[in-house]
Every structure is written in structure tokens, then in C-alpha cells.
Amino acid sequence: MKNNARKPVAARIDWLVLFLYIILVLVGVAAVYSVEYTSFSEPFFNFSKSHMRQLTWFVISLIFGLIILLTDSKFFYSVAYLLYFIGLLLLFATFAVGSNVKGSHSFIKFGSFSFQPGEVCKLFTALAIARFLASSETNFKTLKDRLIGTAIALVPAVIILAQNETGLALVYFAFFIAMYREGLPNAILIGGFLIAGLFISSLLIKQWPLFFIITGLALLIVWFGRRQIRRSPLLLIIVISTWGLSVLFANVIVPFTFKHVFHAYQVERIYSMLGQEVPEDFLQPGETPQGISDYNVRQSKIAIGSGGLLGKGFMHGTQTKYSFVPEQNTDFVFCGIGEQFGFLGSAGLVLIYLVLLLRIIYIAERQRSTFSRVYAYCVASILFFHLAINLSMTMGLAPVIGITLPMLSYGGTSLLAFSIMLFILLRLDADRQMLIR
């Protein structure tokens, strides 16, 4: 095993991950090409076309990857915090110099090149969390360190939320998966699910019935647990405070957020996903439902569903090719694959992603250093969140939240961010026998 470290980096990197990465990027280029393709007479090498741009970004990403592979793995450990703070500064900078793209204020423009700090900040946050958990002073069993970890993950999320990029902000919750691996209590995840459940039921059930249901549940718990409560009155306090918090959340916070924080289109998307009309209570004054908010999802479902078992064949999609699906190069890139390659192709793609995720977990678990392991988990979690939200959205299982499909979606920043993320993982994995401090 010791000999391993002396071998060149090329011999020590995980070729499977690299292989899957390249396949996914090329599938993305093909998807973009097939949608924009009009006739054979057009030259393939046309740099005004999206597929050539994406290929260019792929080459840039590979160059970055090469540089990363030639860098010392300790470098990433040492600059983790620095990068994190640079990331935060960039996020703040968008408020000052950011330009408005599609209603969100999260892009920085350098000439014709626009760049989204939120995408890159994921990577920095992953490094920072890895470094924090790997440091010898950190004891993740203490509440203080758990709160610090949470803060590292959520500070960028809050800033991004303020920039109106709900989807991107949501991704930062992915770090809880990594932190869960490192010892975050089960209760937090259970609590998270509870809040999600409460959130959805507060949308589906009217306020007063919901209040009675929550109260009834609390009373039932008190009744069945009356012996334990008699033994320790603290439990009663916990139950009552949980009840109070639930009622506060369901009857005050959710309606408030819907009325005053969310935009009308976001409210409509969430309700259309649940198959409901927006209730009058949640309509913001002066705004009327547009009634077309499910157009994207409907077209996306039609495109994917019409693919059938084997698909319509490469470049023979009708729905994606003729622009029935909005944003079909970026967030809805999966539609093109679903339509052209059918169930076999799209399920195959999901399986490729699954193999990639499981491989990263495998890589994570074989690391000697905590830094590398936590980082690997962060990467897996980010990929997982992106996949879960993006694919569910295109299939009509989740509300439409602008979030890319890793490696496939058209867009330079996104591709570059995921590439760097994976190449750092490969670099760290190449030194898996080392203890990086």
C-alpha cells in the first residue's frame, strides 16, 4: 500500500468517476445539440451554437481539472476557509454589482461572460465544512460545534435566498446529509421531515381544522404518555412547546411567508405541484393568479412521456426540438433525453447518476483523513440534491425550482463548478492514504 503513494497521480485517481463524468458531460452536449439541430447543412463547429459553447466549457473544465490534479492535496485543506470567505464576499458583491437575470439578482457580469457566485460557493462551503469537521479542535458532539457547522452551511444559503434563488439556496441543506454522516443526531433529520410534513399539510388543510388536528394529536400524546409525564414533567413542557411551535409554524409562519415573502408565481408553482388552486387567503393583494404556471411542467411531462419505451430517436424529438418545453437547454435538459431516448435512455441516465453517487460514497468511506471523507460526502450530497430536485421537477414530482442537472445542463458556471468539485475529490482520493491536516 505504501508503494501506492509513490505512483504518479494518474495511476492513483479513480478512473470510474472520471469516466462517468465525461459520459455525463457528453450526453449533455448531445442533448443540447439535438435540440438546436435544424439541418445537416449547418456546420457542427459553429461557436455561436450552444453545443460548441458547452464543449468549450468542457475543455476549460478539463484544463482546470488537470491543474487541480497537479496541485498538492494539502493545498485545498489550507485554503478552505480563505475560499469560503472569498465566496461570501462574492455573494455580498452581487448585491452591489450583480446584474438581473430572469428576476434573480445572483449573477456577476464580466463583459459577455456572466457568472453566478452561488454555484461556486457550494464548493467553497463544502471545503470549509470538511476542514471544520476535520480540525482537531472540533468536537462535533458538542452543541456549539454543531451550531457552527450549521452556520457554515446556511449563511451562504440565507444570502442566496435574499438574491431570489430559492433553488440554489435549497441545495445548501444538502450539507446536513454530510453532517449527519459525521454524527448529527437523528432527531434533527426527523425534525426536518416533521417540519416538511407540517408545511405541506398547512398548505392542504385550512387553518382552523389544522389547528384542531395538531391540538388533538398533542392531547393524544399527553394522554398515552401520562405515566411518563407524571414521572418527569419536563416531557409535558416539551410536548406543549412542540405543540406551540407547530401551531405557530402552521397557522402563522406559513401563511405569513406565502402572503408576504413568496412571490405570486412561487406560490402558484407550489400549489400547482400539489394539484391545487391557490386559496384566496394566500393571494397577495393586487396580484392575480396567472393560471399558466404549470405550463413548463405540463410540457416537460408531455415531452418525457411521449418518449415511450425506446424514445423517438436521436434528433427526432418533436416537443423539445420545436421549443414546446421552455428552458430546455438548462433546467429542463432532461426532457430532451426522455423524449429522444425513451424509458431505457432516461432510466439509464438515472442509473449512471446512481452509480456515480454510490461510487463517491465508496470513495468517501475509504479515505484515511476526515477532511477528504467529509468533502466527498458533501459532493455526493450536493449532487444528490441537484438530481432529486431537478429530475422530480421535470417529472412533475416537485415544484419548478430553477436548479441545474449536474454536468448535463447548458451553462458554463454550473459545469465548471461541478467539474472542479469532482476533480478536487479525485485529487484528494489519489492521496487517500495520507492524513491531510
Partner 1 sequence: MSSINQNPRPWIIRLVFLTLAVILIGRLFEMQVLDNKYKIMANDQAIIKKTIFPPRGIILDRNGVSIVTNALTYDLVVTPAKIQDFDTTSFCRLMNITPNQFSETLKKIIARNGPVRPSVFTPYLNETENARLQENIYRFPGFELRAHYSRSYPAGIAPHVVGYIHEISKRMLKMPRYSSYQSGDYVGISGLESVYEEELRGQRGVSFIVRDVLNRPRHEYMNGELDTPAIAGKTLKLYLDAKLQKLGETLMQNKIGSIVAIDPKTGGILAMVSSPSYDPALLSGGDFSKNYSRLSQKFTRPLFNYATQAQYPPGSTFKPVDAVIALDLGVITPKFGYPCRGGYYACGRRIGCTETWAGHAADLELALAWSCNSYFCDVFRRIVDAQQWKGGVHEGLQKWHDYLYSFGLGHPLGVDITGEYGGNIPDSAYYNSVYGNYWNSCNMVTDGIGQGEVTETPLQMANVVAMIANRGYYYTPHFVQSIGGNPRDPALAKYLIKRQVTHVPYSVFTPVIQGMEDVVKSGTGRIAQLPGIAVCGKTGTAENYGIINGQRVKLDNHSVFVCFAPKDDPKIVIATVVQNAGYGATWAAPISSLIMEQYLTDTIKRAALLERMEKANTIKNYIRVIDSFQRQKDYMRYMLKTANNRTRDSIRRQRDTMLVKQILRDYYRIKIPKTSYLKAIQHEE
Helix (H) or strand (E) holding 104: strand 104-110
Query: How near is the Cβ of 82 to partner 1 at its closest, in Å?
Result: 29
Contact 176, 189 (CB under 8 A): yes
Q: Does 342 bind partner 1 (CB under 8 A)?
A: yes
Contact 321, 415 (CB under 8 A): no
Q: Does 324 bind partner 1 (CB under 8 A)?
A: yes
Binds partner 1 (CB under 8 A): choice among 82, 188, 261, 351? 351
Encoded amino acid at 79, one letter: V
Record the cell numbers describing residue 430, joined without a space.
489519489
Sign of CA dihedral 345, 34, 299, 168: positive
Q: Does 304 bind partner 1 (CB under 8 A)?
A: yes
Q: Does 359 bind partner 1 (CB under 8 A)?
A: no
Distances (CA, A) of 266 to 164, 258, 262, 272, 290: 11, 9, 6, 10, 11
Record the cell numbers describing residue 22, joined without a space.
465525461
Binds partner 1 (CB under 8 A): choice among 273, 361, 417, 430? 361
Query: How near is the Cβ of 288 to partner 1 at its closest, in Å?
Result: 18
Q: Please identify, using beta-carbon distances, which residue of 199 and 343 lies nearer to partner 1.
A: 343
Binds partner 1 (CB under 8 A): choice among 364, 382, 393, 436? 364
Q: Does 118 bind partner 1 (CB under 8 A)?
A: no
Record the cell numbers describing residue 165, joined without a space.
434563488
Nearest to 393 by CA among 266, 270, 297: 297
Q: Which residues contact 119 (CB under 8 A, 6 or more apart)?
A: 168, 413, 414, 417
Binds partner 1 (CB under 8 A): choice among 106, 116, 346, 413? 346
Binds partner 1 (CB under 8 A): choice among 5, 263, 365, 368? 365
Nearest to 317 by CA among 8, 19, 30: 30
Instruction: Round to whole Å and give the CA distance between 305 and 311.
Output: 9
Q: Please identify, using beta-carbon distances, which residue of 193 and 208 lies nearer to partner 1.
A: 193
Q: Does 386 bind partner 1 (CB under 8 A)?
A: no
Binding pattern for the stretch 174-193 against partner 1, x by CB under 8 A and - elsewhere: ---x--xx------------
Stretch that binds partner 1, among 9-17, 54-62, 253-261, 317-325 (CB under 8 A): 317-325
Q: Does 309 bind partner 1 (CB under 8 A)?
A: yes
Stretch that binds partner 1, among 98-106, 262-270, 284-292, 346-354 (CB under 8 A): 346-354
Q: Does 433 bind partner 1 (CB under 8 A)?
A: no
Contact 334, 304 (CB under 8 A): yes
Maximum distance among all alpha carbons in the chain? 83
Q: Please identify, using beta-carbon distances, which residue of 98 and 338 lies nearer to partner 1.
A: 338
Encoded amino acid at 302, one letter: I
Nearest to 284 by CA among 266, 307, 302, 297: 266
* Dihedral angle, C-alpha 368, 372, 376, 382, nearest 10 °: 150
Q: Does 162 bind partner 1 (CB under 8 A)?
A: no
Q: Please identify, using beta-carbon distances, which residue of 101 and 358 lies nearer to partner 1.
A: 358
Binds partner 1 (CB under 8 A): choice among 4, 100, 276, 323? 323
Give contact residues for partner 1 (rule: CB under 8 A): 177, 180-181, 301-309, 318-319, 321-324, 338, 342-343, 346-347, 350-351, 353-354, 357-358, 361-362, 364-366, 377, 380, 384, 387-388, 391-392, 395, 397
